[in-house]
Amino acid sequence: MSTNEGEANQHAEEPKDERVLLASLIANLKVDVDENKKIQKQLKKASTSLTQELENSKLNHKNCKIELERYKTFQKNQKEKEEAELKCKESLHLLAVNKRQFPYTLTIVTTRVVPVTEDSPAVPEQTTVETAMNMTPKNRAHFESEKEVIHLILTGIREEIYSTVDACQTAQEMWEAIERLQQGESINIKDVKTNLF
């Protein structure tokens, strides 16, 4: 019986060894599962952090695009401002030239008598208002410069001033009205004061 007892003890120790081994494996498995959970938490945290960084990068990229568009608009406005200043300088020059010659006004022109010829009848003397068709070259140049100055002034001013200046007949009147407005005076108030005294 001693062999049977030895075998029984051996069999009894085998399940004990198996249980110890199984308990050890379970403990190791729990440790591995806990480590995997920690790693998953870290990965999830890192993923959340990376997602947040990506969102911030997208937002920064969008803000950079907006700033770039603003800069382009600023550059465009700066260029338009420089062009407007150049036009104003040209207007001032033309206005200074016109001031010396006084504003151009259409005049009455008298056409000469044309005697009778074989091919045409006589044309009597006529008085007509000067038009672009019958102007002298000197008058045409003066008239064209006046028109150009008026155009440059109207395209170079702000909308608030336009309605006041648009009523003026000559470039000189427009310029004087703009100067008064820029000095803080109202044309209407000045005109009322003038009419009162």
pLDDT recorded at residue 197: 46
pLDDT digits (tens, 9 = 90+) for 53-79: 999 999 999 998 998 898 888 888 788
Task: Determine the Cα–Cα distance for residues 18 and 41; give it in Å rounded to an integer.
Answer: 34
pTM of the complete model beyond 0.75: no
Q: CA separation (Å) from 90 to 21, 145, 152, 165, 174?
A: 101, 11, 8, 18, 15
Reading the block at residue 73, the tokens are 């608009």
